Structure 1
Amino acid sequence: MSGPNPPGAARQPACSRCGRTAPPGAGPFCPYCGRYLATLVWVAEPPPSARRPVRTSPRPPYGGPPRYAFVPRWGFPPGPWRTSTPPAPPSALLRARVALSRLVPLLWITAAVALVAAGAETWRYFLLLASRTDALSTTAVRWSDGLVRTAGWASVAAFVPCGLVLVTWSLHALQAAGDRTATRPSRSPLTVVLGWLVPGPNLSVPGSLLAEIEHAGLDRSPDERPRPSRLVLLWWAVWALGVVLGVLTLLWSLRTGAQARADGVVLHALVDLTAVATAVLTLKVTRRLTALLAPPTGERREILVAVRPPAEPAPA
């Protein structure tokens, strides 16, 4: 007979088949029935072929670097990433400055193209004068016609984007003027656009619009009537002259005859020269008005105007 297990000896587990307890040191198998004494846990796993593949959404194609219509005013914080409030939308003054930065090169291009067109029309007029007494060279006539056509189409290609950006600048500048004086613009955006484009109203609306922007930029009372400066008045007069000459040239082109064509060449040259002057004055006016709409810095500057000698005392 076997005695009790000595102290500290590991007790063998009971056999799950015969129910007997194996003596110490019997090994992992039951000495009575031969069954494996360790507890087994069977886990059933499906084969790899029966697993459902994980579907991943296709990666979108690369669309290029991000684009911003304005210079971003935000930046990444100098530390770990953390959520922050979204940046405020750009102000009307910032939009006006962005539009001005795009308008300046377009105005220079428009002035250059209009100057070339005026020179081409002037050359054609001198050829018409010379044709009354002498025969013209075929080469000169071809070059003149080609230069007039090229300059004409180039003028149209320059005027259209320049006009669109100018109207956009006026909308933003008018809104910035209202923000500066804490007032609501007297004209809606649709009224401003129609005032630039519709013949008749475009003789008065653009000039009065610039006068209102200048009035707000000079911090004058909104109740007072705008008094445009000499620069704005000069721009207004040249702009109105260009509109009138453009309509007159369009109507004159409907006439027939040699004299009507000669007069049409002169009118085209005048329209082109007026366009040059309008582009240059527009550049000066838009720059000045955008600078006036800038917020005040609060600094006072003293400017020496004149030096007068002290008054001599009157003789006794």
Structure 2
Amino acid sequence: MAKIYTEKDASLDPIKGKRIAVLGYGSQGRAWALNLRDSGLDVVVGLERQGNSWKQAEADGFKPVLTEDAVKQSDIVIFLVPDMVQRYVYRERVQPHLREGMDLVFAHGFNIHYKLIEPPKTVDVYMVAPKGPGPTVREYFVHGGGVPALVAIHQNYSGKALEKALAIAKGIGATRPGVIETTFKEETETDLIGEQVDLVGGIMELMRSAFQTLVEMGYQPEVAYFETINEMKMIVDIIHNKGFYGMLKAVSDTAKYGGITVGKYVINEDVKRRMREAAEKVRNGKFAEEWIEEYNRGSPTIKQALQEIQNSLEEKIGNQLREMIERGKPKS
């Protein structure tokens, strides 16, 4: 069973008196910086340029500085810039200013696990990975809660890396619900596999295929959209709150029987075999190689796919129906 740490297992003491550089001020960066500051810690925001993020940080009461200046004056450096930018930021802005005993902190293990970043042995390297988007990390914290997180240790030069990882997790509110100990390998691979076969890739293509099937059979696209895409949120919300059993108890007996018997016919062993093939590409590093090559070419696959989806019938129908749905929401 996984080791789970909560508030009683964590203290801010290991990082009190240390300056923390938060690199990046996007979704996660803003949430982390605000939460850590509200926890009484010394935070400086490091950014690549004086753009919109810089203005937002200033509006939030920070005095942002350029990335390398943040690193020079800090003891703990937290990478909250996009995955494929991290290696450049590390090589050009962080590595030249690393001192013995500093900490490098990641919210995702991609760059460490696939050796895009290889830190010196004289620093602690650990991860705190909230299992939710930045705005949720901030919202839950402000209201006295927190988003669960994973923690992992890659290098423990000081002998106190876990204590510091738990301190960071406490500072952003993650130890309130609980923090699960993992490894960089497990976090990276499960995150990528989940995104591909389920959360982003699998669920999107399942909904699109169901919609297209109904339309091809002659049903009105508006009706097909409601049945195959719009209602997905309602079902997932029930699963999120009550689990699969709770969801099945909540739907009609007709839905139970149809779902139980047909679901396994559609998502069959052949689908699971292809999921496993995709997962093995993550585990053996082939996906990382493909993604790095794709990124270096300017991400043409992503651009083409986004254009195709934007112009698809299901997206056009969705845009129309979302306006109608919005009109029906209760006014606050």
Q: If each structure's helix is expressed as a fraction of its own residues, which one has the higher value? A: 2
Q: Between Structure 1 and Structure 2, which shows a larger proportion of strand residues?
A: 2
TM over 0.5: no
Structure whose alpha-carbon radius of gyration is higher: 1
TM-score computed with the length of structure 1 as normaliser? 0.19
Higher relative contact order, structure no. (Cα contacts within 8 Å, ≥ 6 residues apart): 1
**Normalised by the size of structure 2, how large is the TM-score?**
0.19
